[in-house]
Amino acid sequence: MTPDEISQKMDEDGFVVIKDFLTPSECDKMVAAGLDFTKNLPPKEQRNVFTTVDGEKKQMQDEYFLTSNDVIRCFFEDAAVGPDGELTVDPSISLNKVGHALHYQHPIFRYYTYCDRVKEVAKALGFKEPAVVQSMYIYKNPGIGGEVIPHQDITYLHTAPVAPVGFWIALEDATVENGCLWMVPGSHKSGIHRRLTRNSDKDSKELLIYDTPAPDYPESGFVPVPVSKGTCILLHGNVVHRSAHNHSSNGRPAYTFHIVEKQDNQYSADNWLQEGERASNGHLTPTVSSPQASPMEVVNRLPPHDADDRRVYGETEILTPSREQAIKSSQIKPEDL
C-alpha cells in the first residue's frame, strides 16, 4: 500500500490491513521467542491470570499487572491455572500473553518494533515524533485462547488530541475459527466511550477504575478481519474491536504494540501505563523515527544480567540469553533478519 492509501483507509475505517508486512521467516523468529517464555514460567505463587471477561476486578487489584509497564511478565489463561497455581494444561499453551516491554527488553521484538517498515507507516499516518509505549505477545492458544471483549485501545492508553495507533501483526494465519479480530468500521469517529485510569483513592484496594460501565455494542456492527501470516493490522485508538475464544485446533499468535505522538500531544498522567524506573530513558522515549539499530547494537544496549543470566523483573525471573549467547544465536544474526 502507498502512504496515501494507508492514510485514507485509516481515516475512513479506523483500521488498515497491510499484507506481507513481515515475512514468514520473520514471524517464525517471534513465534520461537514466544515459545521460549513458556519454557521458563514463573513459580505457581506468581502465576497471574489475564482475562477481559470475568477477571477484570481481580486485575484492577493486581499490582503485578500495574507494574509490568517496563518489564517482561507472563499472564496466564484463566483455564490454565488451578486454584493453587498449578497448571491444568501443558505449559506450552498456558499463557494468554507476555507484556508489556518486549519492545525495550527483548532483542528480537525490539528489532522488529523499530524496523524501517514501522517508521514508514508511522510517517504515512502523519506522526512527527512517534514513541512506542507498550508491546505484547498474544498467544491465543488452540482450544484455550480466551475471548477479548469489545473495546477501544484509547480506553487504556489515552492521548489527546492525537489518538494512539496499534500495530497488530499476525504471526500465523488468523481466521474466524481461531479468533481473528472483529472490527466496527468507522467507529473511530464516535469519540471515546470509556476510560480506565489509576485510582486516585489511595485507600482503595482497586488500583485501577473504569469511569463508566462497558458499552453494549450491537453485534451487527462487527465485521471479521481474517488475515494471513505476516499481515499487519493498524488500529486507530478509537476503533472498536474484539476477538472471540479460540475453539479451533490452531493457535493464533500475534505481536502487538502501540505508538503515540509526542509532539504537541498529551499522554494522560492517569493512564495505567506510565514510564518506569527500569526504562526511564527508553520506555516512552525511543521514537520510531530514530536510526534503526542493528541486531548487534540492540544486544549491546540490553540492560545487564545477573550472574545466572536471568534477568530479574520485579518478583519474576524470566530466562533471557546473555549478550554472548544472543550474539551467537542464529535468531539475531544480521543476515537472518
Q: What is the pTM of this model?
A: 0.82
Collect contacts of 174-178 with beta carbons under 8 A, ≥24 apart: 174/225, 174/226, 174/227, 174/231, 174/252, 174/254, 175/226, 175/248, 175/250, 175/252, 176/224, 176/226, 176/244, 177/247, 177/248, 177/250, 178/140, 178/142, 178/145, 178/246, 178/248, 178/250, 178/251, 178/252
Is the confidence at residue 53, as pLDDT, over 80? no
- What is the DSSP annotation of 54-74? S-HHHHHT-HHHHT-TTSEEE
Is the confidence at residue 5, as pLDDT, over 90? yes
| Average confidence (pLDDT) over 46-51 | 63
Q: Across the strands, what pairs with 241?
A: 151, 183
Is the confidence at residue 63, as pLDDT, over 90? no
pLDDT band at 331; cut points 50, 70, 90: very low
Is the confidence at residue 228, as pLDDT, over 50? yes
Distance CA 6, CA 2 (A): 6
Q: Which domains does the chain have, with CATH numbers?
A: 3-290 (2.60.120.620)
∠ at Cα 292 (290, 298), nearest 5°?
115
Q: Residue 51's pLDDT is what?
A: 54
Q: Residues 124-181: pLDDT tens digits?
A: 999 999 999 999 999 999 999 999 999 999 999 999 999 999 999 999 999 999 999 9
Q: Residue 315's pLDDT is what?
A: 31
Considering only 148-152, 161-165, 186-190, 270-274, which range has the smallest mean pLDDT?
A: 270-274
| Average confidence (pLDDT) over 75-95 | 89
